Chains A and B, each alone.
Chain A
Amino acid sequence: MGSREETIERLIPIMEDIFDEDSITYSDAMTAADIEEWDSLSNIRFVVAVEKEFGLRFTNSEIASLDNVGQMVDLILTKLD
């Protein structure tokens, strides 16, 4: 259910809201270093907001294993399968 593109489309407004950035240009390689307000606490808010949007739950070890946003998109897609 839902293509990779659709998942990214849903992810962008969440990131804009959580990190208080007006227009985020998405790329798979994007990391916390690319966004000013992305720190450890806003990361938790981000994870929880994504869980809520997609109706799923990440484990802490899954979160710890992510290196960039693209990997999060892939993880979401695996969980939605």
Chain B
Amino acid sequence: MANPTELSWLLPAPSDFRACVKALRKDGDSDARQAVRLANHALDLSQLGQLGKAVKQRRDDLAKAGLRPARLAIAATHTLDLLVEALPASGLRHGVLIETLQADYGQTAQAVLDPASPLNAFDPQFTLLALDPQALGLAQPILEESAAQQAVQSAIDYVVSLRDAVHANSNASAILTTLPVPPVSLFGNFDAMQPGSVRWLVQRFNAQLAVHGAGPGDVLLDLAALAENVGLSIWHDAARWHDAKLPFALDCVPLVADYVCRLLAAARGLSRKCLVLDLDNTLWGGVIGDDGVDGIRLGQGSADGEAFLSIQSHARDLRQRGIILAVCSKNEEDAARIPFQQHDEMVLKEDDIAVFVANWTDKASNLRYIAKALNIGTDALVFLDDNPAERERVRQELPEVAVPEVGKEPADYVGLLAAAGYFEALSFGEEDRQRAAMYAANAQRAGAMTKIGNMEEYLRSLEMVCSMRPFDALGRTRTAQLINKSNQFNLTTRRYTEAQVSAMEGDPAKFTLQVRLVDRFGDNGMISVIIFDRGADEWHCDTWLMSCRVLGRRVEEAALAQVAKAAVDAGAKRLIGDYLPTAKNALVKDHFEKLGFAFVRTLDDGGTRWALDLAGYTPPELPMDIHVEFEPVETAV
């Protein structure tokens, strides 16, 4: 995502854009919905203006075509004319037909406070109160704490009084705006700590506005967050401010217009309700039908696998705030469901998917089916698919479905989906919360853990679930990867190829373990690999390695307990472990000693040998749940 001011989830404008708009304006009988198709591109300021004229001209046709009228009054202490020009065309993207009226420059307060003002006579449904630090007395430092606090309070009181006037003098909802932090610092880093620095004033104002600003029915336009996303140095353009009181750089106008329209659409109940997901190369890397559940890329260990994981996590987060998830994939249904049922790293489960469609029918028909099954309109769908041909097909067949232009890099998908703002919400209500019951329960538990006194309590608070099972095909790639890249927590640093790992899976002379750890912050994936050579009396440790990110979690103790239990069950008396020093593994020099092994002897190459007498071993109480997904296999020879 190169340019932060671009609407990068939309296709670029067609090269004959101006001619298309012209045709729309000249031919009164042409399909007005063509305007909506054109609006669904990343348009620049001029293009938005041109299309905006067509919207004015074809207003009646567009209303007949189902767009919802919205009358927006604008009371600003700076110049928003360029934004106003961009709004009608941007609104088409979100299903709203916007009509605007702007208070005269310098008449902000009068226009709102006077019941007979042209602004109130316009009978707005929304009134945008756009103020700036200059107008609110927050643009200059006030380096005395009580005076600074007073200034913030006065600014809030002022905004609240304007808001109350909006309610008293019209039927409109007020749209309040947070303030982007001005880019010039006074002290430098210290601004963040100094009461009354401009940064301090503006941030306090924003925080208080979020709490006290909106009355019933009012909404907050978080320009401060938008400006941060764009980057303050790109957002602010001092020359334009001094020249014409433009509050942000011209390049930002299309993005701000889109943000305003999202809010209006959300207030009109037009936010999207359902995210429809493709599967292959969208939720995981590879093709499940070709690559199988062991072959798809998903999860920790590869950049791609983690990117797909983040897409799934984002989808799950959306589901927990009440967005419906559906699947629409060209696949055999049985094959398509296998990862949901069998792959350890799948964040999304079958239960998360409200409608699961995997077949060879065209996707537009399937999307119609999904909408029908959910009893929502196709205009409530967002369709995420890595395949440009499928995206294009759906756009043509169902222009009302939102289809983000996601490109080839899965790591960009979450950012693009979020930036597009399809699921804009004005509240988070009881209904949403119920759908998010699990989320709430988790949050409660997290709340109970805020006070953590000692290590034991801390580890308990992590809600760790450690699961262990022998090597298998599903974990093979990650197992081999850990064996070949772990250097620090690695007792013997023996490297094995994936083929060798595969051979160990069925080898009765080996005891193997792959260990995974989930905690309340998420799934750490496979974090430890252990191989023992089984002997009649002694089991000898061939490999013991662990990912350093779970150091200090007592996972190695859990693993030892498992090895010991298996060895005892098999009739062995002792576990033997070697530490073979390398340039990088000093970390585990005392590993076996810490686990209760006794020193046996120094090895020829400088290593040490350790032994654990199983008769004297008692497994410790551990601050985690342990899931063992197998019974130790009896030696078959």
Residues of A that sit less than 8 Å from B by CB: 17-18, 20, 40-41, 44-45, 48-49, 59-60, 63
A41-B81, A41-B82, A44-B244 are known contacts. Are A17 and B250 too (CB-CB below 8 A)?
A: no
One digit per residue, 1 when the CB lies within 8 angstroms of any chain A CB and 0 when it does not, for chain B 240-266 equals: 101110100011000000000000000
Complex Cα–Cα for A48 and B79 (A) = 16
**A17 & B239 in contact (Cβ 8 Å cutoff):** no
* Interface contact B250-A48, CB-CB below 8 Å: yes
User: A interface, by DSSP: helix, strand, loop or mixed?
Assistant: helix
> Are the C-beta atoms of A44 and B46 separated by less than 8 Å?
no
Contact between chains at A17 and B244 (CB < 8 Å) = no
State A65–B178 Cα separation when bound (angstroms). 36
Report yes or no: B242 in contact with A60, Cβ–Cβ below 8 A. yes
Q: Taking the nearest CB of chain A, how far is it from the CB of B563, in angstroms?
A: 66
- Chain A's closest residue to B18 (CB) is A17
Residues from chain B with Cβ under 8 Å of A48 in the complex: 240, 250-251
Residues of B within 8 A of A59 (CB): 239
Interfacial chain B residues near A18, Cβ < 8 Å: 46
Q: What does the 1/0 interface line of B33-62 toward A look like (CB < 8 Å)?
A: 000000000000110011001000000000
Smallest CB gap from A16: residue in B: B18
Interface residues as binary, B74-86 with A (CB distance below 8 Å gives 1, 0 otherwise): 0000010110000
3 A-B pairs with least C-beta separation: A48-B250, A17-B46, A60-B243
How many whole Å from A44's CB to the nearest CB in chain B?
6
Residues of B within 8 A of A60 (CB): 239, 242-243
A-B contact pairs, 14 of them (CB 8 A): A20-B49, A20-B50, A20-B53, A41-B244, A44-B82, A44-B240, A44-B244, A44-B250, A45-B82, A45-B250, A48-B250, A48-B251, A60-B239, A60-B242
Minimum distance in angstroms from A50 CB to a CB of chain B: 12
**Shortest Cβ gap from B502 to chain A (Å):** 57
A45 to B237 Cα, complex, angstroms? 13
Residues from chain A with a CB closer than 8 A to the CB of B239 are: 59-60
Which chain B residue lies CB-closest to A58? B239
Q: Complex formed: what's the CA distance from A20 to B46 in Å?
A: 8
Instruction: Specify which chain A residues have a CB less than 8 angstroms from the CB of B243 in the assembled complex.
Output: 44, 60, 63
Convert B218-253 into 0s and 1s, putting 1 for each residue whose CB lies closer than 8 angstroms to a CB of A. 000000000000000000000110111010001100
Q: How far in angstroms is the closest Cβ of chain A from B340?
A: 48
By a CB distance below 8 angstroms, the chain B residues around A40 are 244
Residues on B with beta carbons closer than 8 Å to the beta carbon of A63: 243
Q: How far is the CA of A63 from the CA of B244 in the complex (A)?
A: 13
Q: Is the CB of B244 within 8 A of A45?
A: no
Q: How far is the CA of A48 from the CA of B82 in the complex (A)?
A: 13
The interface residues of chain A lying within 8 Å CB-to-CB of B240 are 44, 48
Minimum CB–CB distance from B80 to chain A (whole Å) comes to 11
> A23 to chain B: closest CB distance in Å?
12
**Shortest Cβ distance from A49 into B: residue:** B46
In the complex, the answer to whether B246 meets A45 with C-beta atoms within 8 Å is: no
New A-B pairs, 5, CB < 8 Å, besides A44-B246, A45-B250: A20-B50, A20-B53, A40-B244, A48-B240, A49-B46
Which residue of chain A is the closest to B84 with respect to CB atoms? A41
- Assess whether A45 is in contact with B46, with CB atoms less than 8 Å apart: yes
Complex formed: what's the CA distance from A48 to B243 in Å? 12
B182 to chain A, nearest CB (A): 19
Q: How far is the CA of A20 from the CA of B81 in the complex (A)?
A: 17
Residues of A within 8 A of B82 (CB): 41, 44-45
A45 to B81, CA, bound (A): 12
* Chain A residue with Cβ nearest B50: A20
Give Cα A60 to B79, complex, Å.
17
State in angstroms the CA–CA spacing of A69 and B437 once bound together. Answer: 65
Residue of B with least CB distance to A52: B251
Interface centre among B46, B49, B244, by most A CB within 10 Å?
B46
Task: Give Cα A80–Cα B243 distance, bound, in whole angstroms.
Answer: 24
Q: Which residues of B contact A17 (CB under 8 A)?
A: 18, 46
Q: How far is the CA of A41 from the CA of B244 in the complex (A)?
A: 8
CA A48 to CA B44, docked complex, whole Å: 12
A46, closest chain B residue (CB): B46
Rounded to whole angstroms, the CA-CA distance of A24 and B113 in the bound complex is 45
In the docked arrangement, what's the CA distance between A63 and B239, Å? 11
Chain B nearest CB, measured from A19 CB (Å): 9
Measured CB to CB, the closest approach of chain B to A73, in angstroms, equals 20
Nearest chain B residue, comparing its CB with the CB of A59: B239
